[in-house]
Structures are given as C-alpha cells and as structure tokens.
Chain A
Amino acid sequence: MKLRPILLMSLLLLVIWQILAMIVNLAILPSPILVIQTLFQEIFGDLGRHFLASFLRVIASMLLAVSLAAPAGLILGQSKKLDELFSPLIYLLYPIPKVVFVPIIILFLGVTDLSKIVIIFVILFFQILVLVRDQARSIRPELVTSVKSLGAGRKGLFRFVYLPMSIPGILTALRQSVGTAVAVLYIAELIATQVGLGYYIYFQGSTMFNYPKMYAGVIMMALMGLGLYLLIDLLQQKLCPWQFADDKEIV
C-alpha cells in the first residue's frame, strides 16, 4: 500500500469527524483540532510515557513470539513424529480466543509488565507457529536434496533454505495478528495497571472526564496499530523481494 492514499484518507476522516463534532456539539465528541492540539501537548509528557510503555510491551512480545514460535514451527514442519504428537494440542488451542486467558494470566503473573507481554505473546505465538509449520511442511524435498548435494549441512540448510523460507510466514502471521494483539493489550491495560495507553484512555475518559485527552490516547493507540502494520509491510518488501517480483515475463 502506498503512503499517499493512506494520508489522504486520514485527512478525509478527520474532516468528517470535524463536521460530526460541529453537528452534535457535545463534550464527548470534541473537535479533532482540539484533540490533535492536546495530543501534541501531551505526547512529550504523560501520553508519551503511557504510549512508550504499551509500545515496548508489544515489541517485546513480538520478539519473544518470533524467536520461540518460528523455530518451533520449523521443527514441527520438518518432523512428522513431533507434528503428529503436537497437532491435537495446537488444534485445540489455536481457535480459542486468547483474550479469555487475560484474567488467568493476570492472576498468576500479577499486574506486572510480564503479564501483558505474555498475553500478547500467546496470541502471536500460535499464529506464527501454525503458519511457519505449514510453510515448512510444504517445502519440496528435492529442494533440500539439491542444496544438500551442493554441500550444505545443517547450518547451510538453515541459512539458505529454512531461514529465508520462514520469513514470509513470520511476517504474514504478524500482519494478521498485530491488530488483535493491540486490542488485547488495551483490554489487559484496563485491568489493574498504572501505565499504558489502555489505562490512560480509560482513566482520562471515566475518571477525569477529559475527553480531548481520551481521544488523543485513542489516536495514539490507532497510530501504534497502523505503525506496526506499516513496519511489517516495509520489512516484507525489504526481506522478501522475490514476492514482489513482476509476474513471469515472456522470454
């Protein structure tokens, strides 16, 4: 997706918001101009601090999920026996909406950063695991044999076959689940925490009745989701150029 149409669309949405705000004329729908002014004032203070806390939680979970789920997916995709052993478990756990684990994880891990990181991790982990596993399963045996015959051992196969093969799966999984991850982070941050965008939004809206600040928090949450999405897009273009190559030309 190109950046320009996205910016134009954002502008259009802001205009619609402004018109709606003028029509309803209520405190609970402040003008976007006021909200953006508040956002710029707050971003270097309180809002920035809460945003950073949420952002770091998401990034930490993503790194943790990729570093554990990708190797596990590769191993399951390569080993029929292990795959048969773990398939029923994954089949059971995969469709469960992970958000229901939020209270349990908070009970066990408390209101720490770790509990929020673990919640997002659980969501991302299964997505990546399943996609990388399916990709590793689909790899053609003759490709592995060919690369072996060129002199590749385990390390060589990992570097030149399994690693590049798993990158698109990892990125697709992240892209599919980053929205859910941010949503669940919001839920988790509503419960018993003092720092994070979820807390900030809830606190400004329901305790302080400061609606411009609440909206500024909502915008930052949206920007975080969008920013992560764009980052994954960019990574995909950089790391997987073959997926963007033109279709077969007639030669």
Chain B
Amino acid sequence: MIVSTHSLSFGFSQDKPIFKGLDWEVASGERWAVLGPSGCGKSTLLLLLAGILKPTEGEIKIGGHQIIRPRPRTGLILQGYGLLPWATVQQNYELGLKLRKFYGPDGKHAPQEEVSNKVDPHWLKRLGLDDIKDRYPSQISGGQQQRTAIARTLTLNPDLLLMDEPFGSLDAPTSAALQNLLIELNQEDDLAMVLVTHAVETAAFIGEKILLLGNPPNVSPQIIQTPNSGTDNYRDTKEYHQLCQTLRSQLEPSL
C-alpha cells in the first residue's frame, strides 16, 4: 500500500470535523479520483496526504511510514499550479532539484544521498516544454503551466502524485489531452495518483477508483470501482455515461 489512513480525523475547528475515523487505502500504481461538492474536504485530504496538514487523530502512512512532513517522493500539484512567477519554465523545472541539493529532502538537513548537479531535461522534452523553457509563466498558456508543474514534479521521481483540480481552468481539448497524458504516465511508471475534482466527467474518466466524499464529517465514504476507466473510447461507452449519471445523482442531495 502506498497510502493508508487509520482512523484519520481532522477538522479546522474541534466542533466541525471534516474527517472522522477515516480508513482508506491506495495501492501502488492505482489511479484514484476524489469527488465531492465544494466544502466536502477533498482538498484538505490532499494536503493531509502531502504532509502539509497534520491529522488531529489517527495516522496517515505513505510508503509504510507515518507522514509528519512533506515527503520527497510525493508530488503535489495544486490549483493554480504553484509556479514561481519570477522563474522561467526551466528554472521552475529545476526548483525541486535545487531545493534538495541545498537543503535536503526535508528542507532542513543536508542531503543524505548524492544529488547530481546535472538537471535531466527528460520531462521537459517529454511534456513538450523544450521550446518554451525560457519563458515566464505569465507568457505561456494554462495547459503549458500545468505541464510545467507536472514536469517539475515528475523529475523528482515520485511514486505518488497528488493533484488538486488539475483540469479546472483548462479548455476541453487541453483538458482531454492532459487526462490522457496522466493515464499514460500512470501506466508507464506505476505511479500512484490521487486526483481531486468536483467534475463528475473527470472523475468518471480518470479514476480507476472513485472516493465519493459528501458533506462533512466524512466517516466511511463510498468507493466506486471503474475497472475500464481511462481506456480508449471509454468516454463513448454506455458504462461511462451510466457512471456519470450515478455520480451525479449521488452528489445531488448534498448540493
């Protein structure tokens, strides 16, 4: 198991818990979508997994270790992509490596392993960013910004990728291309993914498994398995349309 939560509880205030005793597991290489209405706690769950927020009770284990601070092999991509506006695509791409070289994986201690000086441009090329590597984020499109954020994360060789509304502000073709890319990456490298979204169609297409959150507190949220998700032409199948309808009806009462 890459992710396991044991009776995880969390709330920003004590009387309003968002999660209460949540038990949940993500296996290596699995592709999860976390779906729910706004305010259900899906972004909070992501920050808990990333080690940015700490559980009020219970524990979260990532890769077998309890998570108390950001973990080097977990990649986190937030809404708005988190690119440095004063750094070019290339400099943003190198940011994680530079941070690790100077400050160590936890930001405090000197690096334990030898980090190579050379930046491997593999992901920059693979994600088609080579031609725009000298531009600043304000000069490139939303899709390119998202790909820069993904490249920056992938070059750190993660085994778990956490993404918050990765397609939120992208147009439909860009979004579809990016969804296909993520599925490819997931299959190639056995990279586990947890994607948070409020869009039923995105969850239905990309999630092998869907964690359906409702209004807090979330105690034992529903899990929906969609073994054929992400395959070619899946969007045209009856299965997909039925799933979308089911998800929509599940979400409605809480709206």
What residues of chain A have their CB less than 8 Å away from a CB belonging to chain B? 140, 142-143, 145-156, 159-161, 164-165, 240, 242, 245-249, 251
Q: Is B243 close to A, CB under 8 A? A: no
Q: List 24 A-B contacts (CB under 8 A).
A: A143-B80, A143-B84, A145-B50, A145-B82, A146-B76, A146-B77, A146-B78, A146-B81, A147-B82, A147-B99, A149-B75, A151-B70, A151-B96, A151-B104, A151-B105, A151-B156, A152-B103, A153-B107, A153-B108, A155-B107, A156-B107, A242-B136, A249-B139, A251-B140
Contact A142 B107 (CB under 8 A): no
Specify which of B70, B103, B141, B152 is in contact with A155 (CB 8 Å cutoff). Answer: B103
What residues of chain B have their CB less than 8 Å away from a CB belonging to chain A? 47, 50-52, 70, 72, 74-88, 95-96, 98-100, 102-108, 132, 135-136, 138-141, 144, 149, 152-153, 156
Alpha-carbon distance between A140 and B83 when the two chains are bound, in angstroms: 11
Contact B50 A149 (CB under 8 A): yes
Across the A-B interface, give the 3 residue pairs with the lowest CB-CB distance, nearest first. A153-B107, A146-B82, A149-B76
Report if A155-B102 is in contact (Cβ < 8 Å); known contacts: A149-B52, A251-B140: yes
Contact A142 B106 (CB under 8 A): no
What is the number of contacts between chain A and chain B, taking CB atoms within 8 Å? 101
Alpha-carbon distance between A248 and B76 when the two chains are bound, in angstroms: 26
Interface of B is mostly: loop
CB distance from B148 to the nearest CB of A (A): 12
Q: Which residues of B contact A249 (CB under 8 A)?
A: 139
Contact A160 B98 (CB under 8 A): yes
CB distance from A74 to the nearest CB of B (A): 15
Closest to B74 in A: A149
Alpha-carbon distance between A151 and B75 when the two chains are bound, in angstroms: 10
Q: Can you name 7 extra interface pairs (CB under 8 A) apart from A154-B108, A164-B84?
A: A145-B47, A147-B82, A148-B52, A149-B74, A151-B100, A154-B107, A156-B107
Alpha-carbon distance between A142 and B63 when the two chains are bound, in angstroms: 25
Report if A153-B156 is in contact (Cβ < 8 Å); known contacts: A147-B95, A148-B70, A248-B139: no
CB distance from A247 to the nearest CB of B (A): 8
Contact B103 A153 (CB under 8 A): yes
Contact A245 B78 (CB under 8 A): no
Alpha-carbon distance between A160 and B86 when the two chains are bound, in angstroms: 9
Alpha-carbon distance between A206 and B108 when the two chains are bound, in angstroms: 63
Q: Which residues of B contact A155 (CB under 8 A)?
A: 102-103, 107
Specify which of A140, A143, A150, A153 is in contact with B152 (CB 8 Å cutoff). Answer: A150
Residue among B72, B78, B104 facing the most chain A CB atoms (10 A cut-off): B78
Alpha-carbon distance between A142 and B86 when the two chains are bound, in angstroms: 16
CB distance from A207 to the nearest CB of B (A): 52
Contact A142 B84 (CB under 8 A): no
